[in-house]
Chain A
Amino acid sequence: MSRTILASLALAAMMAAGCTGPANAQDSGKLNDLEVAHAAYVAGDIDIRNAHLALALSDDRAVREFAELMIRDHEAVNDAALALLKKLKAEPQDNAFSQSLLKGARDNWTKMAQLSGAAFDKSYAANELAYHQTVNKVVSEAFIPNVENAELKTLLGSALDTFQAHEKHAEKMVADIGS
């Protein structure tokens, strides 16, 4: 994976998370294993928080079921990530990519919180589909090929199975709700 492609994926991920600012130099650099672990955890945590926003604002059954699924599954993946880091006696490393993801998400939450009813539901569904499409691309094409630790690579592979299932579920949610 070239640094250029990784940079493109990183930028795409930030755009999917709602980040409107330009990528800085560190965003485009190759992440080390501990930075990947941090970014993957943050990406999961963002989707958990997206889900809590949906549970607070939506009455739509499909949206609420999807949100509950996101909380359950992403918490399981993040718990596994924390357990692996504990086993390896390693600390995840914050980095510009994680920070950009988080900034984009915060901007997105501000916008989403202004919506209600069908407008919120459609926005949430579309955002979840775009988010999972992009995250899956980053995980499969940038994170997994580049990480060096075998256990982290395996964990990311299992996490990708989960996120790909979410992407298919989000496709159905968008089709059912409309975008």
Chain B
Amino acid sequence: MTVHGDAGSAVWTRRCLLALLSVLPVFRSARGDSATVEISRFEFAPAELEIPAGSTVTFVNLDLAPHTATGDAFDTGTLRKDESKEIAFPIAGEFAYLCKFHRHMTGRIAVL
């Protein structure tokens, strides 16, 4: 389809904006609004994490033993080896968590 004049320009601009909006989440992730917590050797790494509100954190279990990351506000459920779970943190607050199977494993996420 060929477009001409002002109307064509408006369509082109709208398409560009839509295209830009469609890739914005990717740029936002690349800027650091997503984070990863590795579960390895019976520790959360990093155990302390600060993220902006609206971020996501992916918990990935690298141990043979199943683990969870469980807090008052979220729960990954059981993660077996190499399984992961993405959790969204839409609002600010302090979120302490632990592995409900191995309660000595603890972590904290500060959402700013």
A contact set with B: CB distance below 8 Å: 69, 72-73, 76-77, 80, 155, 158-159, 161-162, 165, 168-169
Contact = CB atoms under 8 A, between A and B. Distances in A.
Given A69-B102, A76-B64, A165 B42 contact: yes
Q: Per DSSP, are chain A's interface residues mostly helix, strand or loop, or mixed?
A: helix
A155 to B, nearest CB: 8
Contacts, number: 37
Contact of A161 (B42, B66, B80, B101): B42
Contact of A159 (B42, B64, B80, B104): B64
Given A69-B101, A155-B64, A161-B64, 10 more contacts: A73-B64, A76-B66, A158-B63, A159-B64, A161-B42, A162-B63, A162-B64, A165-B42, A165-B102, A169-B104
B66 to A, nearest CB: 6
B41 interface: yes
Interface string B75-109: 00000110000000000000000000110100000
Contacts of A80: 64, 81
Given A76-B81, A165-B42, A158 B64 contact: yes
B104 A73 contact: no
A77 B81 CA distance: 10
